């Protein structure tokens, strides 16, 4: 079989197509979760903590160039200028994104598994014992006497 034919069979299989759809939906879902964290959750956390902005939490590692005209307290401005900075606030935001995304996926998988489980049907009555087994039991019982 030619390599092109093998590749065609591989690419058209259901699992590969399911994976492709899952990756595309996952990317779109990730955008939604990022927006929920950035636009809904982080402002609430900021309000609770007195205006704390995680995205602007960093430790400057490099020197600010003399030609720098941005805000020295802005992580984005320093990144744009090429100043080395340890942005732990962005990492905290990414961890919160991951936790929310993982929890939502957990709930989705739990729900889907619940739908897939067959309802517990009452136990079916056992199949009737074959005649040859009954005959052998009778012979056994008569030999015991």
93 burial via Cβ count (<10 Å: 0-12, 13-18, 19+): buried
How much is the mean pLDDT over the chain?
82
Query: pLDDT class for 95, splitting at 50, 70, 90?
Result: confident
Residue 69 lies in a domain: yes
Residue 21 lies in a domain: yes
User: What is the residue range of 23's domain?
Assistant: 3-120
Domain count, the chain: 1
pLDDT of residue 99: 86
Could you report how far apart the first and last alpha carbons of the chain are, in Å? 71
pLDDT of residue 38: 79
Task: Name the strand (E) or helix (H) holding 27.
Answer: helix 14-35
Residue 132 lies in a domain: no
Residue 105 lies in a domain: yes
Residue 126 lies in a domain: no
Q: CATH number of the domain that 41 lies in?
A: 1.10.1200.120
């Amino acid at each position: 079989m030619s390599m092109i034919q093998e590749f065609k069979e591989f690419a058209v299989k259901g699992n590969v197509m399911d994976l492709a759809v899952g990756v595309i939906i996952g990317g779109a879902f990730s955008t939604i979760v990022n927006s929920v964290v950035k636009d809904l959750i982080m402002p609430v956390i900021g309000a609770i903590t007195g205006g704390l902005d995680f995205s602007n939490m960093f430790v400057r590692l490099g020197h600010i160039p003399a030609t720098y005209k941005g805000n020295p307290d802005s992580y984005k401005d320093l990144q744009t200028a090429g100043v080395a900075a340890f942005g732990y606030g962005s990492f905290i935001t990414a961890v919160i994104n991951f936790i929310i995304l993982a929890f939502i996926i957990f709930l989705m998988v739990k729900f889907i598994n619940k739908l897939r489980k067959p309802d517990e049907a009452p136990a079916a009555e056992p199949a009737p014992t074959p005649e040859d087994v009954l005959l052998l039991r009778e012979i056994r019982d008569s030999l015991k006497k």
